[in-house]
Chains A and B, each alone.
Chain A
Amino acid sequence: MFIEKIQKNSIIKHMAKTIEEINEKIKKGCVVVLSAEEIIGYTAEHGVKKTAAAVDVVTTATFGPMCSTGAFINFGHSDPPIKMQKVWLNDVSAYAGIAAVDAYIGATELSETEDMKYGGAYVIQDLIDGKAVKLRAISYGTDCYPRKEIETYISLENLNQAFLFNPRNAYQNYAAATNSSSRIIYTYMGKLMPNFGNVTYSSAGQLSPLLNDPYLRTIGVGTRIFLGGAQGYVAWQGTQNNPGRERLANGTPVGPAGTLALIGDLKKMDSRYLRAATFHGYGITMYVGVGIGIPVIDEEMVEFLRVSDKDIYTEIYDYSVARRSKPSYGKVSYQQLRSGTVNIKGKKILTGSLSSYSIAREIAQLLKQWILEGSFTLTSPVTFLPSEEKINPLNVKSREEI
Chain B
Amino acid sequence: MVTKRLVLTFPEKIVTKPITYRLVKDYDLAFNILRAEITADIEGKILIEIQGSKEHLDEGIAYLQGEGISIQDASRDIILDKENCVNCGICASLCMTQAMEMDKTSFELIFDKDKCILCGFCENSCPVGAIRLRI
Contact = CB atoms under 8 A, between A and B. Distances in A.
Interface string B84-107: 001111111111101001101011
Contact of B90 (A63, A190, A276, A339): A190
A357 B107 contact: yes
A65 B88 CA distance: 10
B70 interface: no
B87 A65 contact: no
Given A193-B94, A279-B127, A340 B102 contact: yes
- The secondary structure that dominates the B interface is loop
Given A351-B93, A352-B94, A359 B127 contact: no
B108 interface: yes
Contacts of A190: 90, 93, 125, 127
B93 A65 contact: no
A361 interface: yes
A359 B87 contact: yes
Contacts of B92: 340, 350-352
Given A277-B128, A278-B127, A359 B102 contact: no
B43 to A, nearest CB: 24
Interface of B: 86-96, 98, 101-102, 104, 106-108, 121, 124-125, 127-129
B125 to A, nearest CB: 4
B87 A357 contact: yes
A191 B87 contact: no
Of B86, B89, B93, B124, chain A has the most CB atoms within 10 Å of the CB of: B93
A325 to B, nearest CB: 24
A193 B121 contact: yes
Nearest to B91: A352
Contacts of B89: 352-353, 356-357
Contacts of B95: 350
Contacts of B129: 278
Nearest to A282: B127
B116 to A, nearest CB: 15
Interface string A335-367: 000111000000000111111111101000000
A275 interface: yes
Of B106, B107, B127, chain A has the most CB atoms within 10 Å of the CB of: B127
Given A352-B88, A358-B106, A277 B93 contact: no
Given A340-B92, A351-B93, A353-B90, A358 B127 contact: no
A14 interface: no
A200 interface: yes
A390 interface: no
Contacts of A275: 86, 128
Contacts of A277: 127-128
A319 B97 CA distance: 24
B127 A198 contact: no
Contacts of A287: 86, 127-128
B107 A354 contact: no
Contact of B127 (A65, A197, A339): A65
Contacts of B104: 338-340
Given A277-B127, A279-B127, A356-B87, A191 B107 contact: no
A212 interface: no
Contacts of B87: 356-359
B127 A354 contact: yes
A287 B124 CA distance: 17
A111 to B, nearest CB: 15
Given A351-B92, A355-B88, A358-B108, 6 more contacts: A65-B127, A199-B93, A281-B124, A354-B88, A354-B90, A356-B87
Contacts of A198: 93-94
B124 A359 contact: no
Contact of B107 (A193, A279, A350, A358): A358
16 contacts: A190-B125, A191-B94, A193-B94, A275-B128, A287-B127, A340-B92, A340-B102, A350-B92, A350-B93, A352-B91, A353-B90, A355-B88, A356-B107, A357-B89, A358-B106, A358-B108
Of A191, A279, A281, chain B has the most CB atoms within 10 Å of the CB of: A191
